[in-house]
Amino acid sequence: MSQLVQVLATLVVLSGLGMAANLRVQSLINALAAQSMLVGGALFSLGWHSSRMVAGTGVVVVVLKAIVVPGWLRASLRHGHSTGQGTEPSLSLPSSVIVCALLAVLGYAVGRPIAVTANLGTRDVFPAGLTLALVGTFIMIVRGTAMSQVVGLMVLGNGVLLAAVASAPAIALLPQLALAFEVLVLAVVIGMQLFRIERAFDQLEQARLPRGVDDERDA
Amino acid sequence: MSWLIYAAVALPLAMAVLVLLGGRRSMLDEIAASLASAGVLAIGITLAVYTQRHGVLVAADGWFRVDALSAFVLITIAGGALAAQLYAVGAFEPAERGTGIDPDAGQKFRFLGQLFLSSLAVMVMAGNLGGLWIALEGTLLTSALLVGFNRRTSSLEAAWKYVIIGTVGLGLALFGTVLLYVAAHSAGADGLDALRWQHAIAGVLDVRLVKIGFVFALVGFGTLAGLAPMHLWRPDAFRAAPTPVSALLAGCLAPASLYAVFRLHHVAAQSIGPALPSMLLRGFGLTSLVVAALFVLVQRDLKRLLAFSSIEQAGFAVLGVGFGGRLAVTGAILHLLSHSMAIVLSYLVAGDLEARYRTRNMLRIRGALTAAPGSARVLVVATAAVVGVPPFLTFSSRFLIIYGGVERGHPVEACLALALSAVVLSSFARFVGAMTLGEPAPSRRPDGRFRWGASTLTMVALGALALLLGIALPGPLRALFGAAADALGVV
C-alpha cells in the first residue's frame, strides 16, 4: 500500500509541473481534476488502515475537487460567465517550468529530511505536499486570470492537505484543519462565480483605458 | 467566569442574526449593533481585571484561553469596532449617497461587521494555534465581503486581491502550523495538546522543524498583518472599502493579526531561542518601515496614504517585539492600542472629508480650515496622533520601542526606524498642510456645515482619548500592559 501511495505522490508532483507548463485555462482545469483524483486516491490509501477520517477526506476531495468544482468551472467557461482571458503571465512558459522544477528540488530537499526527522511513515508524501504547495503559490503569482489563480489556489490546497495528512494520518486534527482550508478555497470559487470576477475585471480594464483612472473618487 | 468568553463570541453573533431578521434599515438595529460592540468591550475589560487577579482563564477544554494579552487585544478590537459602528450610524444614508452603495448597505455592514467582530474575538481568545488559524479564516471571509460589498468594480478588484493574497497567506500559515504540530507531536504531545501554547513553549521541540514552521507561519500571519513585502492587498482594500469598513479593518484586523504574530514569536523563541525569530521580526519590521516611507511620498489618495501609515505601524509593532526586553515589548503592545485609536480616527475624518469634497484626491482637497473648520481641526489632531507627535499615545509607544531597541543593543535599527518615521511625519505634514491651508478651488467648494451626531462625537472622543492617555496613562492600564508583556514571557 505504501508503494502505491508513493507512486501517487510522485504523479501528483508531475501533474503540478505539467500545470506550470500549460497556459490554456481549460487544460489547467483538466489537470487540476486529474491531480485532485490522484490526491484523493493517495489520501484514501493512507487512511484505509489507519483512519476513517483521512479515507473520508480522500473521497470528499475526489467528489469536490475532481468532479464538482472542475465541472462548474468548465460550465462557467462554456456559458461565458468567465472568459479565461487576462493579462499575460509575468513569466514565459520555459521559465515557469524551470522555476517549478527548482521548487520541486527545494520541496524535496527541505521536506524529505523533515519526514525522516519526524519519523513520518510515508516519507515521500510530505515533500510531495510541500512541492505542490510551492507550485500552487507560484501559479497564483504568475498567472493573470482569476480562473487560473483559483486553480493555483486549489493546487496549494492539495499540497497542504497532502502534507497535513502525511504528518499525522492517525490523528484527525490536521486533516480537519486542511479541510477547513478547502472550505475557504471553495468559498473563493463561489465568490468568483457569484460576483463574475473576470467580467468585472474586463470592465475595469476598459474603464481605465481612456481615462487612466477608474473614476473621480478613486483618483 | 468562562461564560464571559462564550458571551464575547455569542453577543456579536446574536446581533448579526437580529440584524439579518430586522429588515433593511432601522435606527434600533444601528444602536443595537453599537451596543453589541460596547458589550464585547465591557467583557474585555472584565476579563482584563479577572486575569490580573486570578491568572489565566481556560474554557471549552482548552480551545479558549484568555490571559492579560488576549484581554488587552480584545479591548482594542472591540473599541475599534465600537467606533466604526458609531460612525456608521446614518453614515450610509446622507454622507455616502451617490457612491454606488446599495440601499441595503447599512444592514450588510452591521451584519458582516458583527460576524467579523465575533471571529476576531475567537481569534484573540484561542487557546491553540489551530483555533487561531480557523478564526483567522473566518475573519478573512467576512472582511473580504466587507471590502467588496458595494460591488463597484474597483471594490471587487480590491476584494479579490485581498482574498487571493490572504488565502495564500493562510495556506502558508497552515503549513507552518502543520510543521509546528509535527514538532510537538514528535516531542510526545498528542491531539489538541500538540497545538496548545503551553505545550509549544515547553522547550522540547525539534529545532529545525520549529525554524521552518515558524518561517512559514510568520509569512502567513504577516500577510494578514500587512507586513511588507506581503502588504500588497492593504492599500487597495483600505481605499476601496467604505469608510466604516476601512476603519474596521485598520483598527481591528491589524491588531488582531499582529497579536497572532506576537504569539507565534513567543512560541518559537521559547522553543529554539530568540535569535532567529527576533531577527526575522526586525527584518520584516524595517522592510515595512522602508516601504511605508517610500510610498507615502507619492500618494494622492487620502485613504491609500493612511493604509501605508498602517503598514508603518505594523512594522513598528513587530520591530518592538523583535528588539525584545520589557521596554520595547511593552511599547509594541501599547502600540496596538495607540495606533488602533489613531488610525480609526484618521479613517473617520478621511471619510468625512471625502463626503464634503466628493473626492479622496488630496491634490483637490484645499482650504479645509476655511471651508470646513471642524473637519480640518479633527484632521490635524488625527494626523498628529497617527504619526506620533507628542503628547499623543502613539508617541509614547514609539518612544518605548526605539528606546528599548537602543537599550537591547540595536542602535542602528532603532535610529533607522526613527529616521524613516521622520520621513513619514514630514510627508503627512506636507499633505495635511496643503489640504487644510489656503482657499478651496471655486469648483470644489466643500459642504462646510457642521453637524453634531454620532460620527462627530466618535471622532471627538477618539481624539481626546488618544491625547489624554498620552498625557497620563492610568495605573490599571499600565498594570495591564505589564501583565500582557509577562504573557509574552518578557523578563
Domain assignment present for A21: yes
Confidence class of residue A54 from pLDDT cuts 50, 70 and 90?
confident
Which of A123, A143, A177, A182 should one mutate to test binding to chain B, selecting the residue with the greatest count of B CBs within 10 A?
A177
Closest CA to B218 of B161, B257, B165: B257
Place of cell 510526545: B188
Closest Cα in chain A, distance from residue B244 (Å): 16
pLDDT in the model for residue B448: 63
Partner-chain contact B359 A164, CB within 8 Å: no
Closest CA to A122 of A157, A161, A173, A163: A163
Size of interface A-B (CB pairs under 8 A): 132
Separation between Cα atoms, residue A181 and residue A65, nearest integer Å: 13
Three-state SS at B59: strand
pLDDT in the model for residue B336: 96
Closest Cα in chain A, distance from residue B83 (Å): 24
Closest CA to A159 of A48, A67, A61: A61
Measured between CA atoms, the residue of chain B closest to residue A169 is B182
Separation between Cα atoms, residue B288 and residue B322, nearest integer Å: 13
Partner-chain contact B208 A117, CB within 8 Å: yes
Side-chain half-sphere exposure of B118, counting CA atoms within 13 A: 22
Domain assignment present for A124: yes
Closest Cα in chain A, distance from residue B73 (Å): 25
pLDDT in the model for residue A213: 39
Three-state SS at B57: strand
Residues 6+ apart with CB under 8 A from A46: A5, A54, A55, A58, A122, A125, A165, A166, A169
What total number of domains does chain A contain? 1
Radius of gyration of chain B (CA): 21
Could you tell me the three cell numbers for B5? 468568553
Measured between CA atoms, the residue of chain A closest to residue B194 is A173
Separation between Cα atoms, residue B304 and residue B310, nearest integer Å: 10
Mean pLDDT to the nearest integer, A50-76: 88
Which of A117, A184, A215 should one mutate to test binding to chain B, selecting the residue with the greatest count of B CBs within 10 A?
A184
Render B426-445 in DSSP notation, one character per residue: HHHHHHHHHHHSS---GGG-
Which of B101, B174, B303, B356 should one mutate to test binding to chain A, selecting the residue with the greatest count of A CBs within 10 A?
B174
Could you tell me the three cell numbers for B265? 514569536
Tens of pLDDT, residue by residue, chain B (491 residues): 889 999 999 999 999 998 888 766 567 777 888 899 999 999 999 999 999 999 999 999 888 999 999 999 999 999 999 999 998 887 666 444 455 556 677 888 889 999 999 999 999 999 988 889 999 999 999 998 888 777 677 788 888 889 989 999 999 999 898 888 878 777 776 666 667 766 655 555 678 888 888 999 999 999 999 999 999 899 999 998 889 999 999 999 999 999 999 999 998 888 888 999 999 999 999 999 999 999 999 999 999 999 999 999 999 999 999 999 999 999 999 999 999 999 999 999 999 898 888 888 998 898 888 888 888 999 999 999 999 999 999 999 999 999 999 999 999 999 999 999 999 999 999 999 999 987 877 766 777 666 667 788 899 999 999 999 999 999 999 999 999 999 987 75
CB A38 within 8 A of CB A161: no
Q: Judge whether B133 is closer than 8 Å to chain A, CB to CB.
A: yes
pLDDT in the model for residue A92: 81
Report which secondary-structure segment, H or E, holds B160.
helix B153-186
Could you tell me the three cell numbers for B292? 511605508
Q: Which domain holds residue A121?
A: 2-84+92-210
Could you tell me the three cell numbers for A134? 510551492
CB B340 within 8 A of CB B384: no
Q: What is the mean pLDDT of chain A?
A: 80
Partner-chain contact A177 B160, CB within 8 Å: no
CB B370 within 8 A of CB B439: yes
- Tell which wins on pLDDT, B361 or A206: B361
pLDDT in the model for residue B24: 60
Distances A95 to A16, A120, A142, B102, B384 between C-alpha atoms, Å: 15, 34, 11, 45, 49
The structural domains of chain B, with segments of one domain joined by +, span 3-487
pLDDT in the model for residue B199: 61
A122-178 pLDDT tens trace? 678 889 999 999 999 898 888 878 888 889 999 999 998 888 888 765 555 777 788
Please name every residue paired with B58 in a beta bridge, in sequence order, or none if there are none: B65
CB B420 within 8 A of CB B292: yes
Could you tell me the three cell numbers for A142? 504568475
State yes or no: pLDDT of A200 exceeds 80.
no
Side-chain half-sphere exposure of B254, counting CA atoms within 13 A: 40
Three-state SS at B66: strand
Residues 6+ apart with CB under 8 A from B6: B59
Domain assignment present for A203: yes
* Alpha-helical segments (H) within B249-372: 254-272, 275-296, 302-323, 326-357, 368-371
Measured between CA atoms, the residue of chain A closest to residue B362 is A219
Separation between Cα atoms, residue B322 and residue A40, nearest integer Å: 42
Please state whether A92 falls in left (phi above 0), alpha (psi between -120 and 50) or beta: beta
Look up the ipTM and state it. 0.84
Place of cell 489563480: A149
pLDDT in the model for residue B491: 58
Burial group, residue A187, by CB count within 10 angstroms (0-12, 13-18, 19+):
middle
Domain assignment present for A219: no
pLDDT in the model for residue A26: 86
Separation between Cα atoms, residue A85 and residue A50, nearest integer Å: 44
Q: What is the dihedral of CA B200, B204, B206, B208, to 10 degrees?
A: 80
pLDDT in the model for residue B192: 66
pLDDT in the model for residue B173: 93
Distances B482 to A133, B337, B474, B477 between C-alpha atoms, Å: 40, 14, 13, 9
Share of chain A above pLDDT 70, in %: 79
Residues of chain B in contact with residue A171, where contact means CB-CB under 8 angstroms, are 185, 190-191
Closest CA to A159 of B264, B144, B129, B168: B168
- Tell which wins on pLDDT, A32 or A201: A32
Q: Judge whether B355 is closer than 8 Å to chain A, CB to CB.
A: no
Closest partner residue to B167 (CB to CB) among A114, A188, A217 is A188
Distances B349 to A117, B342, B352 between C-alpha atoms, Å: 55, 11, 5
